[in-house]
Structure 1
Amino acid sequence: MWKNSYNRWKEFMDLDADLSTKLEELTSDEQSLEDAFYKNLEFGTGGMRGKLGPGTNRMNIYTVRKAAEGLATYVNDQGLSNRGVAIAYDSRYMSKEFAVETARVLGHHGIPSYVFTSLRPTPELSFAVRHLNAAAGVVVTASHNPPEYNGFKAYNEDGGQLPPEQAEIMIDFVNKVENELNVEVADQKQLEEDGLLRWVDEDVDAAYLEAMKTVTVQPDIPKDLSLVFTPLHGTARHLVEKGLEQSGFTSIHIVEEQAQPDPEFSTVASPNPEEHQAFEMAIEQGKAIGADLLMATDPDADRLGVAVPDSNGEYKVLTGNQTGALMLDYILGQSKSLPKNGQLIKTIVTSEFGRVIADSYGISTLDTLTGFKFIGEKIREYERTGDHKFMFGYEESYGYLVKDFARDKDAVQSAVLIAEVGAHWKNQGKTLLDALDDLYEKHGYFLEDLQSMKLEGKSGADTIQTIMNDFREADITEAGGKKVLTVEDYATTVRHYVQEDKQEVIDLPSSNVLKFILEDDCWFCLRPSGTEPKIKFYYGVKSGAKKESEELLAAVKATVNERLHALI
Structure 2
Amino acid sequence: METISFGTDGWRATLDEFTAPRVRMVGQAVATYLSDEGLEGPVAVGYDARETSRGFAEELTRVLCANGFDVLLSERDRPTPLIAHAIVDRDLAGGLVITASHNPPEYNGVKFIPEDGAPALPDVTDAIAERLAEPESLPEEEHGTAREVDFAESHADAALDLVESITGSTDLSGLPVAYDAMHGSGRGTTDALLERAGADLDRFRCERDPDFGGGAPEPAAENLEALIEAVTGDDGAVDLGIANDGDADRIAVVTPERGYLDENLFFAALYDYLLESESGAAVRSVSTTFLIDRVAEAHGESVREVPVGFKWVAEAMADGDALVGGEESGGFTVRGHVREKDGVLLAVLAAAMHAEEPLDDRVDRLLDEHGTVVQDKISVACPDDEKGRVLDELEGEIPETVAGTDVEGVNTADGFKLQLADGSWLLIRPSGTEPVLRVYAEAADEDRIGDLLAAGRDLVEPLV
Which of the five TM-score ranges fits, normalised by the shorter chain? Answer: over 0.9
Q: Which amino acid aligns with 2:419?
A: I
SS at match of 2:210: coil
Distance 1:52 1:220, change over 3 A: closer
Q: In 2, distance between residues paired with 1:64 and 1:229?
A: 33
Quote how far apart the aligned CAs of 1:171 are.
2.3
Which of 119, 140, 163 is the matching residue for 1:215?
163
Q: 1:91-119: per-residue Cα shift (whole Å, max 9, x none)?
A: 01211111111111111211121111111
The question of 1:183 aligning with 2:110 is answered no
Q: Which residue of 2 aligns with 1:171?
A: 129
8 Å CA contact 1:124–1:406 kept in 2: the answer is no
Q: Which residue of 2 aligns with 1:35?
A: none
Q: In 2, distance between residues paired with 1:185 and 1:532?
A: 35
8 Å CA contact 1:141–1:300 kept in 2: the answer is yes
Q: Which residue of 2 aligns with 1:269?
A: 215
Quote how far apart the aligned CAs of 1:277 are.
2.3
Q: Which residue of 1 aligns with 2:82?
A: 124
Quote how far apart the aligned CAs of 1:534 are.
2.1
SS at match of 1:159: coil
Quote how far apart the aligned CAs of 1:305 are.
0.8
After TM superposition, list the pairs within 5 Å mapping 1:214-233 onto structure 2: 214-216=162-164, 217-219=167-169, 223-233=173-183
The 10-residue stretch of structure 1 (471-480 or 67-76) with the greater mean CA deviation from structure 2: 471-480
Q: Which residue of 1 aligns with 2:11?
A: 48
8 Å CA contact 2:282–2:302 kept in 1: the answer is yes
SS at match of 1:86: strand
SS at match of 1:362: coil
Q: Which residue of 1 aligns with 2:393?
A: 470
Which of 101, 105, 127 is the matching residue for 2:63?
105
The question of 1:91 aligning with 2:49 is answered yes
8 Å CA contact 2:68–2:143 kept in 1: the answer is no
The question of 1:60 aligning with 2:19 is answered yes
Quote how far apart the aligned CAs of 1:565 are.
4.7
Q: Which residue of 2 aligns with 1:162?
A: 120
**Percent of aligned pairs with the same amino acid:** 31
Q: Which residue of 1 aligns with 2:370?
A: 443
The 10-residue stretch of structure 1 (95-104 or 355-364) with the greater mean CA deviation from structure 2: 355-364
Q: In 2, distance between residues paired with 1:243 and 1:117?
A: 18
Bigger share in helix: 1
Note the residue ranges of structure 2 that are not aligned, 5 or more in a row.
none
Quote how far apart the aligned CAs of 1:406 are.
2.1
8 Å CA contact 2:5–2:129 kept in 1: the answer is no
The question of 1:556 aligning with 2:448 is answered no
Note the residue ranges of structure 1 that are not aligned, 5 or more in a row.
6-38, 382-387, 427-431, 491-510, 543-548
Q: Which residue of 1 aligns with 2:106?
A: 148
Quote how far apart the aligned CAs of 1:461 are.
2.9
Quote how far apart the aligned CAs of 1:517 are.
1.5
After TM superposition, list the pairs within 5 Å mapping 1:242-253 onto structure 2: 242-249=192-199, 251-253=200-202
Distance 1:378 1:404, change over 3 A: farther
Larger Rg: 1
After TM superposition, list the pairs within 5 Å mapping 1:319-468 onto structure 2: 319-333=262-276, 335=277, 338-339=278-279, 342-381=280-319, 388-426=320-358, 432-455=359-382, 460-462=383-385, 464-468=387-391
Distance 1:346 1:269, change over 3 A: same
The question of 1:78 aligning with 2:10 is answered no
8 Å CA contact 2:331–2:343 kept in 1: the answer is yes
Quote how far apart the aligned CAs of 1:453 are.
2.9
Over the aligned positions, Cα root-mean-square deviation in angstroms equals: 2.4
8 Å CA contact 1:480–1:555 kept in 2: the answer is yes
The question of 1:298 aligning with 2:230 is answered no
After TM superposition, list the pairs within 5 Å mapping 1:441-520 onto structure 2: 441-455=368-382, 460-462=383-385, 464-490=387-413, 513-520=415-422
Q: In 2, distance between residues paired with 1:197 and 1:140?
A: 17
Q: In 2, distance between residues paired with 1:554 and 1:322?
A: 19
Higher relative contact order (CA 8 A, sep 6+): 2
8 Å CA contact 2:304–2:316 kept in 1: the answer is no
Quote how far apart the aligned CAs of 1:221 are.
7.3
TM-score calculated relative to the size of structure 2: 0.92
